[in-house]
Amino acid sequence: MAVGLHGLPSLAPVTGVRLGTIAAGIRKKDRRDLVLIECTPGTHAAATFTRNRFCAAPVIVAREHLAKTAPRALLINTGFANAGTGEPGLQDARACCGALAERLGCRADEILPFSTGVIGERFPRDRIIAGLPACIAGLSENGWAEAAHGIMTTDTVPKGSSRKTHLGSRTVTVTGITKGAGMIRPDMATMLAFVATDAAVAPAVLQACVSAAVDASFNRITVDGDTSTNDACVLLATGAAGNPVIDQTGGEAYAALLNAVTEVFTELAQAIVRDAEGATKFITVEVQGGRSEADCLAVAYTIAHSPLVKTAFFACDPNWGRILAAVGRAPIGQLDVGRVTIHLNEIRVVHNGALDADYTEPKGLAVMRLPEIRIGVDLGAGTASARIWTSDLSHDYVRINAEYRS
């Protein structure tokens, strides 16, 4: 059960964007698995992609196409990642782009392909191409919720977010969906995230916006430390709101847009952790008092990636020594252990590198039984800080990943 998630919030339509979702039988019968996102001519796009060197064929093709021109449509399939498939996988991705372009009356490089699912198997491109007419026929500005279902794999719930903000006299909408539950340490964005706004934004400024928002959100989550071959986050801007074009990263208009986009990205990123495979805990790791943000992040991720820490949280066991040990082995240059303080929520567990005099096991146990917990670490070495979000590690995580291909 996803921690603190209770169904999709209301997802506002974005003028200039239509979505169609169908069950194309790509891997499993009667499962929504093919999504088309069409955008009006003149829409700008910005994206971040996985840094995994074994990036999937659709990532390669999407990068190539995005470098050439603005997109008219995004085509997303689940079931097969089309990664580790070599030249045939590239041919499959390009064939799907060409088939969709022919039906939409645009060029093949105006289509951005995205895939998620099992790595190393060619996907059935004929089924995808056969499903395109139904996707096109089902296009609707109100198709966000269906699309959120259509991009799911091991997710237990669909994930979406929407915000409205004001740019001068114009009201601007930002709406997005994401998928991801395991194989999550994005290192750029997340498994797949598609967000759109009707704001008018210059391409270079849109890229700056998406990069800044990703760094504050999707690049601050981890479930298991694994970076996918298919990670992608796309931000579309249709310009339909009619605001003066945001053409620089300074000023009130850019700040308002960046804030709304970051809020949507953060809600989507946290939803991934809340729905992590088998998760029973949503854990915030906050590290302060570091010499640099890099040091703080190194400590935070060492804690978040420790199987001993994660299993202790699943067991509701206040075994604070595991957190202490993780801090001690974090890959940072200097650490004065005598200045380290550790909190579980508001309970101070470690003070000046040793067990706090007022700490008791029942206090720690009471915190560990909560579904949402904050680990606070103060390194006592400087003014830098960082925050990430993670989950516990349960029996179900092992089961889900052991049975993933069955």
pTM here is: 0.95
The neighbour count for residue 43, using CB atoms within 10 Å, is: 21
Q: Does domain 17-274 have CATH number 3.60.70.12?
A: yes
CB 62 within 8 A of CB 114: yes
Query: Is 190 marked active-site?
Result: yes
Residue found by looking up tokens 């056969």 in the block? 130
Which residues are within 8 A (CB) of 24 and not within 5 positions of it... i.e. 6 or more apart?
A: 33, 34, 77, 127, 128, 130, 131, 134
> 117: left (phi > 0), else alpha (psi -120 to 50), else beta?
left
Give the three-class secondary structure for 187. coil
Which residues lie below 8 Å from residue 58, measured CB to CB, with a gap of 6+? 82, 93, 113, 114, 115, 230
Annotated active-site residue in 50, 116, 175, 190: 190
**Ranges in the chain, pLDDT < 70:** 1, 188-190, 406
For the chain, which residues make up each domain, given as ranges?
Answer: 17-274, 282-402
Nearby residues of 251 by Cβ (< 8 Å), 6 or more positions away = none
**Per-residue pLDDT, 1:** 64
pLDDT computed for residue 294 by the predictor: 97
**pLDDT (0 to 100) of residue 188:** 67
Torsion of CA 71, 61, 117, 37, to 10 degrees: 10
Model pLDDT, residue 220: 94
The phi, psi pair for 180, rounded to 5°, reads 155, 140
Contact status, residue 317 vs residue 368, Cβ threshold 8 Å: yes
CA–CA dist 171, 242 (Å, integer): 9
- What CATH number is given for 282-402 in this structure? 3.10.20.340
Q: Which residues contact 56 (CB under 8 A, 6 or more apart)?
A: 50, 81, 82, 83, 84, 89, 115, 119, 229, 230
